[in-house]
A = this chain, B = another copy of it.
Amino acid sequence: MPLPTVEERLRALEDREAIRNLIASYGPLADSGNAEAVAALWVEDGSYAVGGMTEAKGRAAIAALIDGDTHRALMAAGCAHLLGPVAIDLDGDRAVARGHSVVFRKTPSGFEVWRVSANRWELVRTDDGWRVERRVNTPLDGSEVAQALLR
C-alpha cells in the first residue's frame, strides 16, 4: 500500500475535526432551543431515533423535537444535553461515531441525572460538509440494544 500523501493526511484530519465539531454542536444548539440549527446538523432526509421510543425522520421532524413540549419544558426548568467524547471510525465519505450522552435537569431540589444513553452517529460527507445521516440514542438501562450501539 502506498504511503498516504500530505493531501490525504490533511483531509483525514480535517474530516475528523469537522465530525467532532459537528457532534459537539448538538448539545449547545439543543439547550439553546435552536431547532433549525439542530436539524441542519443532519442531511435533509436524516433520522434521529431518540430514547428508544420514537424516530424523527427528516429535518422538519428533528426540528419539531426541539420545538416540542417535552424539550421546551426541560429548557424552562433548566437542562443540559452533555455528550462524552466520540470514538470516530472514518471510511472515505462516511463515518461512524460512538459515545455517551447525559441529560441533566434542574428540579426544585437541585440538578439531577435524568437520562444516560448510548449513541451511534452515522455521518456522510456532503457538498456542505459532514452531516448526520442517522443518530440512534438509547438509554443505558441494561438493555442489549443500547450496549450494541457502542460496539
Binding site for B on A (CB under 8 A): 6, 9-10, 13-14, 16-17, 20-21, 23-25, 27-29, 31-34, 75-88, 98-100, 102, 104, 106, 110-118, 139-143, 146-151
Contacts and interface: CB of A to CB of B under 8 A. Distances in A.
Q: How many copies does the complex hold?
A: 3
Contacts of A88: 21, 24
- In the complex, the 6 A-B pairs of residues with the closest C-beta atoms, listed nearest first: A24-B85, A28-B150, A32-B150, A25-B87, A78-B141, A111-B113
Given A32-B151, A87-B21, A113-B112, A82 B100 contact: yes
Contact of A31 (B24, B75, B82, B140): B140
Contacts of A114: 110-111
Given A13-B17, A79-B140, A102-B104, 14 more contacts: A13-B14, A24-B88, A27-B84, A27-B85, A29-B151, A32-B118, A78-B142, A78-B143, A80-B140, A82-B84, A83-B84, A111-B114, A111-B115, A112-B113
